[in-house]
Each structure stands twice: as structure tokens, then as C-alpha cells.
Chain A
Amino acid sequence: MLNTLRPFARGHGAKLIVACLAAAFAGLLELLPQCLIYLAALDLFADAPTTARLPMYALAALAALVLRFAFLGGSLIATHAVAFDVLRKVRIALAARLGEATEVARSARTPGDLKKVLVDDVDQLEGLLAHNLPDLVAGIVVPLSAVIALAAVDLRLALTSVALIPLAMVFAWGFTRNMETQFAQWHGAEARANSALIDYLRGIPVLKAFGADASSLARVRTSVESLGTLAAAMTRKTIWGFSAFQAALQNNLVVVLPVGLALHAAGELGAAELVFFVALGFGVTAPLLKLMFIFGNVQHYEARTKRIDALLALPVDRPTEAPDAAAGAAPSRGPLGLRVEGLSFAYDEARGDVLTDVGFEAKAGEVTAIVGPSGCGKSTLLSLMAGVHLPSCGSVSWIDDGGSTNVADLRRDAREQGMTFLQQRAWLMRGTLRENLLLGCPPDLDERVLARAVSAAQLEPLVARVGLEGLVGEAGATLSGGQAQLVTIGRAIVRDRPLLLLDEVTAHLDPLLERSVQRALAAVGKGRTVVVVAHRLRSIQEANAIVVLDEGRVVDRGTHDELLNRCDVYARLWKAQAQARTWTLHNAPPRPAEVSA
């Protein structure tokens, strides 16, 4: 746990040490009132009693009070400053690492999982650094110095003051014994209740539509009530041990007073010393209760820092700054072709290959389409061509005048310089339309390039509506799926990379937008090497080459007319889509009266 935090706390070492010292001093000053009572008692119980020094003691008490709050405040400010800075750094480091990590490593976690770590887990570190650290110091310093002060008066007093600790330990053992299994049970029940609640919430509109909402509450009720039942059972089991533990630590008087009185009666303890003993011994063990909670928390932090660690240790994709710069550099900026050779890939060894021995070439400047029934691996193939995944064997190469370059050997920035990968889901960030279009572009981009892209990507109506400086994304204007698609095409046009990998959108767009998207696609495809994964065969029937995939293998390649004649898979797909394209919903005659069976 500390190993995770150490690099982020670097530079704060001195601050943390000062904060701990301040917390320790504040702890010591907490004991000063008792010491002053002792001094006052010495004065008053002396053979010649005097009250003359009382104002001085008052002054000391006042000074101690001011100093104590100063130390306490200073310590808390310092630990919080460190905590907030560490939180900030951890978040930035996590974000940076996620950006550098390989796609395979990253995609093993859902955005929800990642959010949990970046937001929730990191948040919790505040408690550890800002509160638990100074509390831990004070929790150790205060009782320890009280015991030492008592030992300075009489060793027997010190021993008496801690006499109940072993007993408290026995009680603690009693109620913490099965804690772990109980917590596991609790977390399990909580997770079940939460999942029932989320399922219920998500489904309310549908359930309502069918009038089935009341019965669906049953699962929520059962799971939430079982949470209460479990809590009650756990409380019944642990409460006696816990109360006894608490009683043993908070009722130190039960041993301190009788021993003090007995020693006093035996003449071995002066009156002032008796007062001092009672005053200090009274609360000496109470801080241990707090310590116990802090140690309880540590486990909780352990799990969180483990998750943070795991993300920080994600394998990094090919670095931007490769040691031998030439080796991974981009090929010349001319036209690029693409060659796939003997390519196989599996997401998971156990589930077998998704792609087997795939090979074909996409010639520079041509449109190559990849088609096939759903689940044939066509989208996976495109990801491999984009270098998002690495093949288990075989290669993807870029071909230019100078020869061929294996994409796997390219530096990340070189890969990004050579191609644009347009994926199905258009992602817009909260920001202006301009920021969204210029994502990843150098800041000094010519304004005319942007204007041309806006026009070519059919974005003019959208720009007229929201403006280039208008906000889009979650916080801004609502864009339909088709409009968002146009923005991503606009991005590709601004970027102007020789190679375009495109996963065609399957969603239905309204006819006007569909036409705009097609025009934009035509513009972005012009003069580039295009590899398109097509779901609708209509849109690629004029492609230079069509590669037909089935069950992860290339079954044929050729032009539309060639394939229609000789390739069964292609002909079958074509026919199915043609039927869907001519189907229309008819007004059927009214149903005949129900015939009872």
C-alpha cells in the first residue's frame, strides 16, 4: 500500500514528518491540563498551601490550548495538502497510463470498472493520508506519554493504568474472530441488493408498460430485507464482545481508583499524586479504541490500492519515444497500401481462433471492402489492421514505394500518422464543435483546412445551428447519431491520413442524414486507401475489391459481379438484404374471431 503511494508523496516527505511531529505535540499538549491539575494539587496540598501560582497555571493552560490548536490545525492542513496533491497526481498518472496502455489490456476492463478506480478508489486515499496518519500518531503518542508520566511518579501506577488492556484484547479477539467471513457475507448481500435495485430501476419503464412493476419490487424487497436481517444477525453475534471491549478501554477507573486509594491509604502515594494518577489514568486507554478503527480501515485501503496498482502496471503499448528512432518511424508520406499475411487471432486461447490464416492485399488508392455474416470476425480483422490488437501469428504491413513495414514494429505516433480508424460508435467530448473536430491536431492548423472539412463532411447545417464554438457532447447541444457520425468524418478529413479504416455504421439514419453521411464518406475516401467493413452490401458493390469472410477465414475475394456469381456466402447475404429492402408493412385484414381450441 505504501509502495503505491510513495512515488506520489515524493517531495512531501518533510511536510509529512512535520505534520506527524505537530500531531504528536498536539497530543502531548492534550495532557497538559492534567499535569497542571497535578501542580495545583501539589501547591494546595502542601504543608503551606498556596494559590499564588494558580494564575500562572491558567496562563500555561491558555498557552497550551493555543499551541495545541495551532499544532493540530497545522498538522491537519499539511496532511490535507499532501493528500489532495497525492490524489491529484494519482489520478493524472492513472489517466496517463490508461492512455499509454495496450488496447488488449485496457479493454479487459469496462469503463465502469475504470471509473470506479479513477474516481472512488482514489477518493478514499484522502482518509488514509489526511486523517488516519495524524490520528495514528496521536493515538500512539498520547497514551504512551501518559504511561511514561505515570511511570515517572511510580512504576506501579503505570502498570495499573494499562492493566485492562489484556482483558480488552481478549474481548477484541472474541468479536473480530469471524469478522472477515461476516464482512464477505455482508458485501455479497450488499452487491445482490444493489444489483436488484439497478435492474429494477433500469426496467421500471418497461415493467410499467406491461403493468408488471409491482411484482418486480419483490426481488428488491427480499434482497434489501435480507440485508437488514443479516445486519441484525451480525450485530447479535458481535455486540456483546464489542461492548465489553469498549467497556474495558473506557472504564479504566475500575482499576485505577481502587489501586490509587489503597496506595494512598497505605501512605505510599501522596494526595497530589493520587489526583494525578486518577486524572491521567482515567482516560489512558480510550485512544486505543480509535487505533483499532484505524487498523480496521487499513484492510479496506489495501484492496483499493491494489486496484490502483494494477492499473498503474498495465502493459504499455509501443512507446512514442523508441530508443532507435528510425526503426519505428512512419514510412514516407506517400500513398500506402496494406497487406495482411497468414493472420490468426484469438481473444482468448480457450475459445479458439476468431481469425485463421487470413491474407489479402488492399492496394494503395483503392477501396477494399470486407464483408461476411455477423460474427465472422470482420470487425476484429479491422482492429488488427489498425494495430489495436496484435495478431497471434501473421502480420499486417504497410506498403509504400520504399517497401513494407510491419505495423507491429511501428511506433505509436507513426501508426497514428499513417491512418485514421473510424469506428462505429461516434464519441464526442464535452466541448465546442471546433475542439471536437480538431482533436489530436496541431494547434496551428490553417483555418481554411477546417472550413474545407466542415463543408466536405456535410457539417454546414450543424455549424449553422450550433456554431463552431457551440458546445456539443453531454453538456451541449444534442446531436443525433448521424450528426455525431458526420463530426467524426470531419475529424478524419482534417487529419488527412493516407490510410482510412472504416467500420460502417449499421444504425438506421433518416434519409436526409444518410445521404449526408454518404457524401461525407465519399469525400473522406477520395484519394485515400480505404478498407471498409461493410454491413450493408449495397454501399460497397462498386468497391475495387471485396473480401468475403466466413467463420474467421477468407472464403473468396473479387468484385461484386464476380462474387455474386461464384460465392455462395456472398450471394446468400445479398439475397437476404435484398428481401429486407423490399419488405413493407401491409395492412392485414382484421383478425378472425378467436377460435377456441
Chain B
Amino acid sequence: MKLFDFGFDLAGYREPRLRRGLILSSVGAVVDTLPLLVAVWMLDLALRGGGAPVAVAAGALALLFVLGFGLRSVASLDNFIATYALVGRTRIRLADHLRRLPMGFFSRRRVGSLASVLTDEFGLYTELATHAWGLTVANIAMPTTIAFVMAFVDWRVALIAFAPVPLALLALPWSTRRVQRASDSLDGTRKTLVADLVEYVQGLRTLVGLGAEKDFVRRIRTSADRVADAQMKAELAPAPAVLAYGFLVHSGFVAVLSVSAWWIPPASFARWVLAVLVAAHFARVLSELVFFISAIRYADRTVTRVRALFETPAQPEGKGAMNMDADAPAMALRNVCFGYDEAPVLKDIDLRFEQGHVTALVGPSGCGKSTVLSLLTRLWDVDEGAVELFGSDVRSLPLSKVQQSVATVSQTTTLFEGTVLENVRLGAPGAELEAVDRALRSAGAWSFVEALPDGIHTVLGPDGGGLSGGQRQRLAIARALLADAPILLLDEATASVDPEQEHAIQQAIARLAEGRTVVVVSHRLWTVRDADRIVVMEDGQVAEAGTHDALLAQGGPYASLWQAQEEAASWSF
């Protein structure tokens, strides 16, 4: 049975220093125990009245002291450097693996918990993995050596002192199991408390405005009470096992004392005393083991989580070439069914996006418009049916092919810590400075970029801190211009822009859309009324499709949406 999983195999390479450190620290633990042997040997001489060579004892001990120090230093150096390297490599490998997962994997909430695994939890894991390793070795090698010394001094005493140990060791997995069970229930109540606290700090402004903050504090109090109870239970849960372990480990010493009266011959009194002395020390050293195990447990949990992430399969990627069928639609959904989990979002939907056409997707919130865009960019793969790019199933193509063919401008633009240039160049990594300039001008971003302290070389903060919605959107448009993909997806591209900026952004979008196949999702029906085809979606299916005029004449769902919009437009307080 493997008692702990340090996850060192996850680093993907063998670290020779780890092995050397392991051997050296084991030898070091033996050397650290040898003074006990010297002591027993010398005391034996002294107690039997023979007189012990003090100088020899001092010399031997000093030698062991220096030797032990040296071994410990070299072993720790190996252990620390090896484990830091391994854990670091695992972290990089995990980051590398994550980018191969289906893009849809990175929902907002997921990103939060992934971030905590990669940062805080990994920090804790590093701390434990780098320290626990050496300590565990010492905790196994040291008691073993002491047991041998004990047996060397008096095998009968050793036998009795050691007898309860196997039973005691059984208590360790017992304790782990009990802790596991209790902490599972603690995790649940804790999650509620943390969620309450997070919700509270996010909603404080609203709560105070409603005079409801005290009510919410009461809610926090209830969760905090439950957590305090669960924490106490979790703390007490391993107590029987831990107590049993400690008791059994020490009971060897009691057993030795109680049975010895009947069999120690007077001639071996001295030896017996020394054996008992070693037995007491043995129990003390062994009893520490349980504490290390409880510390290691936390590392174990992170490793389990990391393993699960490594086991999440990467998004499959085809190697085929694109047909480039001139008659095929630029993109198409063929009898597609798709759902994020149980509930189906798209139900057997068939859609064609003709080359060079503007196709609009409209419909009430939650009808599946954005999901269609997610499938077109391969954020997710379909459950049934197929998504085609110029007639080829996207799953048969390399991901890069889809990436080069489709560009998206959505309502939120993700920017990175880095210069404006780096952020825009994402669209085309090798692009000339001149091309970037052109794209920025065409996107209407030139004037504000020029006004930044270092122009195009200004470093933006994390997530492009400090830029307005309109400015971010212009950078996104420049990025897409630079990428120059034949297909453009627009997802509510002006939704987070100030109304007075909106028209300028619209014009930049018009320049971007020129000559491309466009799929546009918009709640603003008037912005798409000239589209070649308007697809009205309802509940994951196509309700109707056609041109604005045709749809309006039909008097179906589109007509009522248009009607609602006209009413909304003329409304005023």
C-alpha cells in the first residue's frame, strides 16, 4: 500500500538528485542514531565496572556529529533542490496541459478554482512536498535503526517493546480514513461559509442600501456556527486513532517494565537498563510519525486534484486538410445537438453561413445564440451532428486551421499584462509594426494609443487595467483586423461601450466586416436589419429565417420582437 502520494511522477522526468537525497538522508538518519549505540556500548563498559575510554567516546561522538551534519546538509540540499524542481515542473506541465483542454472548460467559475489550485494550493503543496519528504525518510529510517540498536542490546526487550508496533501502525490508515470522512463534511459547511462571505463582500453596497446587512450577518453567523461545530468534529474524529497509536507505541515500554521482574538475571542488569533506555527513546521517536502523516494529508489532497486535471482528456485535434469547396457554406451546423451538462441547449439544429454573407442570429436570452458561436469557434465540440468549415468537419482539422479561419469580437475583450503592441499582435504574432499601426488606425484606436505615455509600447496592467469599454473594443477590432480571418463572429460587440462611443465603434466594425463572412449576434435588431439572412432562434431551435422584410411580413416571432423593440425605443420616463 502506498501511504502517501507526493505526485513526483507528475513532473514527467526523473530527478536523480531525489534518489541521491533519499539515500543520503536515510544514511544520515542512521548516522544520527549511532551515538545511541556508542552511548550504550560505553555505558555498558562503565556500568560493568570496566571503566569506559572517555576519549574514545568523545572522539567517536564528535566524528558522528560532523558526519551526521555533513550528510544531513548534503541530503537536504539534494532533497530541497530536487523537490522544488519537481514541483515547479509539475506546475508548468499542468499549465501546459490545461491549454490543451476544450476551451469551454474555462468557464468563469472554473478559472477561479483552477487559479486557486495553481497558486495557493500549489504553494501549500510545495511547502509540504519539499519538507515532508526528508522528514518522512528520517521518520522511517530512524526508528528502524533504533529498533536494531535495541535488538543488539537485548533482543528480548526489543521483542517486547516492538510487539505492539505493527498494531499501532494499523491505526495510521484508520486515522487517515476518519479524518477524510470528517473533513468531507467539514468541506461542505466550509464551502457554504466561504460562499456567504464572498457574497457578502460583493453585495455589501446593495445590502447596506436595503438596510439588510444585519440580516446577512445573521446568515453568516449561522454558517459560522455550523463550521465551528464541524471543525470540532473533524478535529476530534481522528482522536481515537491517534490516541490508540500513541498508546500502543508507548505501551511497549510499559510491557518491558512489567514482565522484566521475572526473567532478568542479575548478571545482565546493566544491559537491561540500557535496553529499556533505548526502548523509551524508540517510543518517543516513533510517536512523532502520526504528526507528519496529518501534515502530509493536505499535500495528498492537492495531488489528487492535480491528478484529476491531468486525466481530463485534451481536446482532440484532426490532421486533415481543408476541402475549400467553393460552393460549400463558410460554416455550417449539421443536425447539431449540444448541451453543457444534462439539459440540451441546441436541439437538432441545422444552420448554413454562406460565404460572403452577413447572417444574424437573434432571439430572446437563453435561446442558444451564444452557444452556436461557441461551437463555431470550437470552444466546445458537438454531442451529435457536425460543425463544418468550408465543407470539412472541424474535428478533422487541426485546431490552428479553425483559429486562422475564424476571428471573434465579443462584448468583453480580454487583455493581458503587456504592451499594447503585444496585445494587438496576438492576432498575428509575426506582424510588422506597420501592419499593427494600420490595424490600430482602421479600428479607430490610433488616437488614444498615441496619447498613452509610451504610445504603442505602453505596458497595460493586468486585464488591460485603466482602459474604457470603447478603447478595449477598439483594440479587439484591431486584433481581429490583424488576424485577417475570412470568417468574423460578432457577439454583442458594442454592448459594453458608452452610448456616445457606440457609433464610432460600429463604423470600425463595418470596416472590419468588409469582404468577410459575418455571423452576428445582437439584441439590437435594427443593426442587423440589412443582413442577408436573419435566423430567429427560440429554445435551441430555428424558429424562422429570412430577410428582415420577409420576416416582418410573416408576422411570426421576429415581428413580435421587432414590435417590442419599437415600443421600447419610444418609451420614456
Contact = CB atoms under 8 A, between A and B. Distances in A.
Interface in A227-249: 227-228, 231-232, 235-236, 239-240, 242-244, 246-247
Given A88-B228, A577-B503, A588-B513, 16 more contacts: A33-B280, A84-B232, A84-B235, A119-B198, A209-B377, A224-B91, A257-B38, A258-B58, A369-B573, A374-B501, A427-B202, A440-B211, A510-B365, A511-B562, A577-B502, A583-B526
Given A88-B228, A543-B573, A261 B57 contact: yes
B264 interface: yes
A448 interface: no
A254 B247 CA distance: 31
Contacts of A508: 411, 492, 494-495, 522-524
Contact of B84 (A228, A253, A369, A478): A228
B30 interface: no
A514 B564 contact: yes
A449 interface: no
B523 A265 contact: no
Interface string B404-442: 101110010010110000000011010000000000000
B311 to A, nearest CB: 18
B51 interface: yes
Chain A CB count within 10 A is highest, among B64, B231, B506, for B231
8 contacts: A45-B47, A95-B220, A251-B68, A257-B39, A258-B58, A420-B210, A585-B510, A590-B515
A585 B527 contact: yes
B54 interface: yes
A208 interface: yes
- Chain A contact residues: helix, strand, loop or mixed: helix
B210 to A, nearest CB: 4
A58 B258 contact: yes
Interface stretch (B113-121, B329-337, B383-391, B447-455): B113-121
A585 B518 contact: yes
B276 to A, nearest CB: 6
B462 A199 contact: yes
A262 B54 contact: yes
B269 A65 contact: no
Interface string A93-106: 00110111001001
A522 interface: yes
B201 A538 contact: no
A482 B365 contact: yes
Contacts of B550: none
Contacts of A57: 257
A515 interface: yes
A209 B46 contact: no
A265 B65 contact: no
B232 A251 contact: no
Given A250-B32, A416-B209, A239 B77 contact: yes
A532 interface: yes
A423 interface: yes
A240 B72 CA distance: 9
B427 A95 contact: no
A582 B523 CA distance: 14
A201 B532 CA distance: 38
B266 A49 contact: yes
B199 A429 contact: yes
Nearest to A577: B499
B73 A257 contact: no
Given A429-B199, A540-B573, A585-B513, A88 B224 contact: yes
A274 interface: yes
A589 B358 CA distance: 11
Nearest to A597: B434
Contact of A542 (B54, B58, B503, B572): B572
B529 A217 contact: no
A580 B506 contact: yes
Interface string B527-563: 1111110000000000000000000000000000110
Contact of B258 (A54, A95, A543): A54
Nearest to B67: A247
A36 interface: yes
Interface string A411-440: 011001100110100010110000000011
B20 to A, nearest CB: 15
A495 interface: yes
A217 B92 contact: yes
B254 A61 contact: yes
Interface string A349-387: 000000000000000000101000110000000000010
A585 to B, nearest CB: 6
Contacts, number: 485
A591 B309 CA distance: 45
A204 B106 contact: yes
B128 interface: no
A228 B228 contact: no
Interface in B81-131: 81, 84-85, 87-88, 91-92, 95-96, 98-99, 103, 106, 111, 114-115, 118-119, 123, 130
Contacts of B250: 65
Contacts of A40: 257, 273, 276
Contacts of A150: none
Given A37-B273, A52-B261, A65-B254, A480 B284 contact: no
Interface stretch (A110-118, A176-184, A451-459): A110-118
A59 B571 CA distance: 92
Given A44-B273, A91-B220, A495-B210, A511 B201 contact: no
Interface string B49-68: 00110100110011011001
B379 interface: yes
B569 interface: yes
B197 A213 contact: no
A341 interface: no
Given A49-B266, A99-B208, A118 B47 contact: no
Contacts of A482: 365
Nearest to B107: A205
Nearest to B492: A508
Given A87-B228, A98-B201, A217-B92, A535 B499 contact: yes
Interface string B168-207: 0000000000000000000000000111011111111111
A558 interface: no
B526 A61 contact: no
Contacts of B32: 250-251
B320 interface: no
Nearest to B283: A33
A568 B509 CA distance: 28
A521 interface: yes
A211 B567 contact: no
A371 to B, nearest CB: 10
Interface string B125-159: 00000100000000000000000000000000000
Contacts of A282: 39, 281
Interface in A183-236: 190, 193-195, 197-217, 220-221, 224-225, 227-228, 231-232, 235-236
Interface stretch (A11-19, A73-81, A391-399, A402-410): A73-81
A508 B362 CA distance: 13
A47 to B, nearest CB: 12
Interface in B264-278: 264, 266, 269-270, 272-274, 276-277
B515 A119 contact: no
B527 A206 contact: no
A217 B356 contact: no
B298 interface: no
B228 A84 contact: yes
A507 B260 CA distance: 86
A239 B95 contact: no
Interface string B1-45: 000000000000000000000000000000010011011001100
A553 interface: no
Given A119-B194, A482-B365, A243 B69 contact: yes
A506 interface: yes
Q: Which of A85, A209, A225, A518 has the most CB of B within 10 A?
A: A209
A532 B573 CA distance: 9
